[in-house]
A = this chain, B = another copy of it.
Amino acid sequence: MNPATRPHPLHPSTVLVLLFAAAIATGTLLLALPLAQRSGLGGGWLTALFTATSAVCVTGLAVVDTGTHWSLFGQSVILGLIQIGGFGLMTAASLLGMLVNSQLRVRSRLLLQAENRALSLGDVRSVAKLVAVITLTVEALATLALTLRFAFSYDMAWRDAAWHGLFHAVSAFNNAGFSTFPDNVMRFVADGWVLSPLMAAIVIGGLGFPVLHELLLRRRDRVRLSLHSQLTLAGTAVLLLGGALAFANSEWNGTLKSLDAAGRFWGALFTSVSARTAGFNSLDVAAFNTETLLLHDLLMFIGGGSAGTAGGLKVTTAGVLLLAVWCEVRGYRDVEFAGRRLHEGALRQALTVLVLSSAVIGLGTLTLVPLVQHLPGIRYEAVLFEVVSAFATVGLSTGLTPQLPPAGQLLLVGLMFLGRVGIVTLVVALAQQASRRPYRYPEEKPLVG
C-alpha cells in the first residue's frame, strides 16, 4: 500500500466527522421546530438530538414513537436524515476525500483495498452515479411492493399506504430500522409479502458499496470476484442462515411459540436478516430470553458489509479474524481464502477494530449501568444489549432506551456517533497512515498461550 502521505489541510476522515456532525446539528434544529411535532410545541432538544443522531447514524433507537410523536414534516426530516446518513454521506465522504487532494493522489480506500487498483476521477463519478441508481431503484421497487400490499391487504388509504411504504423502503435499504408503526413491523410477523421486500432491501443495502459495484459492473467481465466480495457474500450467507437456525432454536418455545409454521419461518428468517444491522423487529425484543439476547449481541457486533449502511465490526473483519485462526490451527504459512492470501495488514486492522470496539462496548456498559440502576428489574444483559445495539447502529431495544435519564440518552448518542463515524474514521486513518520509522528493530518471538 502506498498512500499519498503529504499533509492535507483537512484529512478526509476529519471531513467525514464534520459532515456527520453538521447533518446531526441540522436535523436537531429541524426536529425541534413546532412544525415537526404533532403536539405543535417546539423544543424537546434532547429528544430532537437523540432522534437526529439515531437517524443520521441509521440506528433506529427511539425515545419517542416515530409515528405518533412526529408530524409528517418531522417524519420527512427523519427520512431525509436516514438517506443522508446511509448511502448519501458515504458517497459524499468518498468524493470529498478525493477532492481534498487536488493531485488525485489519495487513492480511495473504499475501492482501493477491495480492488487493489488506483482510481481515476471517472471511476469516482461512475461510483457516485451507481450509488444513486442502486439506491433509487431498490427503494422504488420496495416502496412499490410495500405500498401495494399495505393498500390491498391492510385497507389503508393510498396516501397512507404510499407514505408507510416509502418510509419503510428507505429505512430498510439504509438499514435504519425506523418504523412509522408503534409496534415496528410486529403486525407483519407472518406476512411474507411485507417482509420479503424489506429483507431484500436490507440485505442489498447491507452488503456495502464495493460489493454492489463489483456485482453490477464487473460481472459482465467474467473476472473472479475480489477477496473482499467473496468474504462478504460467504459471510453474509453463513450469518443469515446460522442466525435464523440459532434464533429458531432459542425462541422455538418462546416468542415463536404462538405462531404457525409459516409464522415461525418468517419470524426466524426476518429476525436473522434484521438483527445484524437493520434493527426492525417483527417479534417482541423485550420477551426474548437471555440466550437470544446474547445471540443478538453477537450478530449485532459482527454487523454487515463494509463501506455501506451497516454498522458493527463488519463481516469481513470477523471473517479475517476467523480465517486467521483457522489457518493457524491448520498450520498454513499464510491466511488464505478462496485461492488468495490475505495481506498481513488486514489482520492487524481487523484485530484493532475488534479490540477497540470491545473496549468501547465494555466501557459503555459499565458507564450505563449506574445510570439505570434505579429502574426496576434491570438486568445486565439488557444494558449490554442496548449498548451493543447503539454502537453497532442496529437500533433493536428491549425497551430500555425510552426509560433512560438524560445522561443515559447522551451516552447512547455518543455511542451511535462513535459506532457509525468512529470505526470508519479509524479505518480510513489507519489505511492512509504511513510507517513513521525509517528502520526496523531486530525480531524476537515471545511465548504465547
Residue of B nearest to A348 (CB): B328
In the complex with contacts A328-B352, A352-B324, A430-B329, A334-B441 CB distance below 8 A: yes
Report Cα–Cα, A448/B351, bound state, in Å.
Answer: 10
- With a CB–CB cut-off of 8 A, which chain B residues contact A155? none
Q: Which residue of A109, A328, A346, A369 has the most chain B CB atoms within 10 A of its CB atom?
A: A328
Report Cα–Cα, A441/B224, bound state, in Å.
Answer: 15
Residue of B nearest to A447 (CB): B306
Report Cα–Cα, A390/B30, bound state, in Å.
Answer: 55
Q: Which listed residue, B208, B306, B329, B437, touches A352 by the CB 8 Å rule?
A: B329
CB within 8 Å of B: which A339-377 residues:
339-353, 355-356, 366, 369
Report Cα–Cα, A369/B329, bound state, in Å.
Answer: 29
Does A435 touch B at the CB level, under 8 Å?
Answer: yes
> Could you list which residues of chain A lie within 8 angstroms of chain B, going by C-beta atoms?
1, 109-110, 113-114, 116, 208, 210, 226-228, 231-232, 290-291, 294, 306-307, 313-314, 316-317, 319-322, 324-325, 327-336, 339-353, 355-356, 366, 369, 380-381, 423-424, 426-427, 430, 433-437, 440-449
Residue of B nearest to A356 (CB): B325
Evaluate contact between A347 and B351: CB separation under 8 angstroms: yes
Q: Which listed residue, B110, B366, B444, touches A343 by the CB 8 Å rule?
A: B444
Q: Which listed residue, B324, B340, B430, B436, touches A348 by the CB 8 Å rule?
A: B324
Report Cα–Cα, A430/B447, bound state, in Å.
Answer: 12
- With a CB–CB cut-off of 8 A, which chain B residues contact A307? 447
In the complex with contacts A291-B366, A325-B356, A334-B440, A445-B306 CB distance below 8 A: no
- With a CB–CB cut-off of 8 A, which chain B residues contact A317? 448-449
- With a CB–CB cut-off of 8 A, which chain B residues contact A226? 444, 446
In the complex with contacts A380-B380, A430-B328, A443-B351 CB distance below 8 A: no
Q: Which listed residue, B109, B313, B321, touches A351 by the CB 8 Å rule?
A: B321
Report Cα–Cα, A339/B314, bound state, in Å.
Answer: 34
Residue of B nearest to A381 (CB): B380
Report Cα–Cα, A370/B299, bound state, in Å.
Answer: 22
Report Cα–Cα, A430/B325, bound state, in Å.
Answer: 11
- With a CB–CB cut-off of 8 A, which chain B residues contact A314? 447-449
Evaluate contact between A343 and B445: CB separation under 8 angstroms: yes
- With a CB–CB cut-off of 8 A, which chain B residues contact A291? 366, 369
Evaluate contact between A444 and B340: CB separation under 8 angstroms: yes
- With a CB–CB cut-off of 8 A, which chain B residues contact A444? 116, 226-228, 340-343
- With a CB–CB cut-off of 8 A, which chain B residues contact A227? 444-446
Q: How far is the CB of A449 from chain B (nearest CB, A)?
A: 4
Q: Which listed residue, B231, B306, B335, touches A449 by the CB 8 Å rule?
A: B306
Evaluate contact between B321 and A435: CB separation under 8 angstroms: no
Report Cα–Cα, A328/B449, bound state, in Å.
Answer: 22
- With a CB–CB cut-off of 8 A, which chain B residues contact A446? 113-114, 226-228, 231-232, 306, 316, 319-320, 342, 346
Evaluate contact between A349 and B328: CB separation under 8 angstroms: yes
Q: Which listed residue, B113, B330, B352, B435, touches A447 by the CB 8 Å rule?
A: B113
Evaluate contact between B355 and A321: CB separation under 8 angstroms: yes
Report Cα–Cα, A380/B293, bound state, in Å.
Answer: 12
Evaluate contact between B210 and A447: CB separation under 8 angstroms: yes
Evaluate contact between A342 and B443: CB separation under 8 angstroms: yes
Beyond the given A329-B352, A347-B347, could you list 7 further A-B residue pairs with CB under 8 A, ordered by the A residue number? A113-B447, A226-B446, A306-B447, A328-B430, A332-B436, A342-B445, A346-B448
